[in-house]
Amino acid sequence: MRRRTLALVPLVALALASTACDETSDTDIDLDATTTVPTSIVVDPSLFLGDVPCSAASGAMQSYVATVLDVTDVSAPFPLPSSPPITCTASVIFRQILVGHAYRVQIDGYDVPAAELTPIGGSSSGSRSMVRRAAPAAGTVAPVWSTFCEDLTAQKNVRSTPKTCEELAPLSTETGVLVNPRATLAGTSAIPGLELTCTQASLDPLGNPVITGDVASFDVRPTDPALAPLVNLPCTSPAPAPYTQNIKPGQSYGFRVEARAVAGGPVTWGASCTALAVEGLVVHALCDPLSKDGALDLSLADVLAAAGTSCVKENVVTYDAVLGAPGDLEADAIDCSKPIRFTPIAPGAYADIKLVGRDAAGAVAVTATCTAEIAPGAVSTATCTLTP
């Protein structure tokens, strides 16, 4: 253990009443002897930083979250509300302290600036888990270091501080991918306030049940068959545990998120998510917004190969594509060598898609019939058969 002396911290703090802790400046001075000190616990970074630098440099600590546990009953430790993210140059004071109770301080250290973090549930929640302020739906941010300090007993009208803390230990992290299906709710409308939300049950003033919101449940379906699907995830639940089994560093992973308006009902919306696995990190998959519509990719390449011809002016130069019902969309004079994507199109079975390849004079050189199944929020590829 490291043993350090600590000056008393002045109460020139920004009050954080909801978590019963104060953040001080990074300058410590002695208190006036006549000042009445409330029963409290002070946590100062100089006590636990040790050899870990506190700066904006890469690899350095930039912020921390302190949590005080009441360990008077060692068989049932009780955590107090955690501090908000604090810059690693500042101290924090906890005031929800009972005289005679035993307490233990735990520290989570981050290589992210305090201003970029916020507790899950908001700044007044007291949560120990952090998310990025700019992208809370992307999931929790894992701390890089952790430690704890020697237990102390609270004394009346004394601002107590731990005498020693264990040195900061880097947290070992498995290689993994976390897919938070609720991240697909963001961006579902160009108009703020009209994005899809999770369904919520409540009662109106007359006591009648009222359901608000849109999405009841999610399924997460990996494209890699070595990863198991996650089904019937309630929309209001926290993000599921990350995939860590069968995840290989450097490999890209794809996931389809399906959303239902009624749990167990038909898929109403869909989205795609992707992630690149990184050795020793749990990365968050990046997801498109949920959509009711799908997309279809068409290409003449397989048709030409089956016909024994190619994209040259003597053979085929352009092609036309007609989707047929239920889309009834078409595109003409597409460059023979280029695929085309129809988007957005309604979900459903498309059984009568027509492709017509034409030569330089516009005469029909090759034709094909294609089929495709369009799903919400997914890009499908048609299967084509050469026709006489």
If residue 14 lies in a helix (H) or strand (E), which one and from where to where? strand 14-16
The whole-number pLDDT of residue 341 equals 93
Q: In the predicted model, what is the mean pLDDT of residues 367-373?
A: 94
Alpha-carbon gap, residue 348 to 293, rounded angstroms: 10
Could you give the 3-state DSSP secondary structure of residue 190?
coil
- Nearest C-alpha neighbor of 156 from the set 101, 238, 237: 101
What is the distance between the alpha carbons of residues 143 and 288, in angstroms, rounded to a whole number?
A: 26
Beta-bridge partner residues of 274: 254, 286
Residue % of the chain over a pLDDT of 90: 56
For the ranges 50-64, 212-226, 227-241, 271-285, the lowest mean pLDDT is seen at 271-285
Q: Judging by beta carbons within 10 Å of its beta carbon (0-12, 13-18, 19+), is residue 212 exposed, middle or buried?
A: exposed
Q: Give me the pLDDT at residue 24, please.
A: 55
Contact assessment for residue 91 and residue 28, using Cβ atoms and an 8 Å cutoff:
yes
Which pLDDT score, from 0 to 100, does residue 21 have? 64
pLDDT (0 to 100) of residue 10: 27
In single-letter form, the type of residue at position 110 comes to: Y
Q: Which architecture, in CATH terms, is 176-287?
A: Sandwich (2.60)
pLDDT value at residue 242: 85
Reading across the β-sheet that carries 217-222, which strands appear in turn? 230-234, 217-222, 252-260, 267-276, 286-287
CA 258 to each of CA 119, 233, 266, 341: distance values in angstroms, whole numbers, following the listed order:
28, 10, 10, 22
Using only C-alpha atoms, the chain has a radius of gyration, in whole angstroms, of 30
Q: Which two tokens stand for residue 79?
A: 């955590």
Name the helix (H) or strand (E) containing 307.
Answer: helix 301-307
The CA distances from residue 21 to 84, 87, 99, in Å, are 9, 14, 17
Over the stretch 154-192, which tens digit does the pLDDT of each residue have? 999 999 999 888 888 787 667 888 898 998 998 888 887
Mind listing the pLDDT tens digit for each residue in 35-61?
678 999 999 999 999 889 999 988 899
Q: How many CB atoms lie within 10 A of CB 67?
A: 20
Q: Is the pLDDT reported for residue 27 higher than 50?
A: no
How far is Cα 114 from Cα 130, in angstroms, rounded to an integer?
10
pLDDT digits (tens, 9 = 90+) for 234-268: 998 877 888 988 999 889 999 999 999 999 999 99
Question: What residue has token string 């929640």?
Answer: 125
Q: What is the pTM of this model?
A: 0.56
